Amino acid sequence: MHLVGNSVAYQMDCMEGLKQTPDKFYELCICDPPYGIGFAGFDKHYGGGKALAKTTLHKPFFGGDKEAAPVEYFRQLFRVSKNQIIWGANHFISRMPFDSPAWIVWDKDNGDNPFADCELAWTSFKSAARMFQFKWQGMLQADMKNKELRIHPTQKPVALYKWLLTNYAKPGDRILDTHLGSGSHRIAAYDMGFDFWAWENDPDYFAAMQKRFEAHIAKPVLFAPEEMYNFEQTKLFD
């Protein structure tokens, strides 16, 4: 059994997609735009030159992450969505710029290495700051029984997006992702029955994401989503 929800992804520039979208069309946008920290995947060492981001797709990260998203991106994002969760906003908060009491911390439990111990997401919610812990250290992942193939330099785990959707979205919400990347967010939204729209500009990463998504939905579903994620439970983050 599977809750039915639209799952649509387009290979296109997000700015074009945003400009074509009506006001407040989405209840929630969860996005991971460029941070502007110079992270470039295979072709560049990062964090003191001791580690190199490795994925199955051997190419530089699209755009080289040289610049954070422009101010106009955030204007459009807030126009088309009612609430937002924006990863990496600590790097470009001056471009938004709005305060928030409800930052999200992803504790990556990644041990002693030059990469960041955690990642931060700005949210539009008026609640307390919260933390999600999930190991994401190279070959080591918190859920090794369902280990994810890394296809993108800035890939985040499906479990992280399921946690976000469980605690910040409601049944029937339309969900947007402007920078789909590896497609972890799409997989999470599909499993939980959300209507989901996304854009990814790079054709190679889009193709890899599509292949990953199609392989996922071809797997048999052992448990109904409503059994796995009880939306009637009291939310932690009202």
Domains (range + CATH), the chain: 7-228 (3.40.50.150)
Q: What does pLDDT average to in each consecutive run of 10 residues of the chain (238 residues)?
A: 76 97 98 82 42 52 71 98 97 95 95 85 97 92 93 94 98 97 97 97 95 93 48 40
**pLDDT given for residue 65 in this prediction:** 66
Which of 133, 80, 79 shows the shortest CA–CA distance to 104? 133
What is the rounded CA–CA span in Å between residue 214 and residue 133?
28
**pLDDT given for residue 230 in this prediction:** 43
Record the pTM.
0.84
**pLDDT given for residue 112 in this prediction:** 77
Amino acid at 200: E
**pLDDT given for residue 202 in this prediction:** 93
Amino acid at 224: A
Amino acid at 113: N
**pLDDT given for residue 116 in this prediction:** 86
**pLDDT given for residue 232 in this prediction:** 39
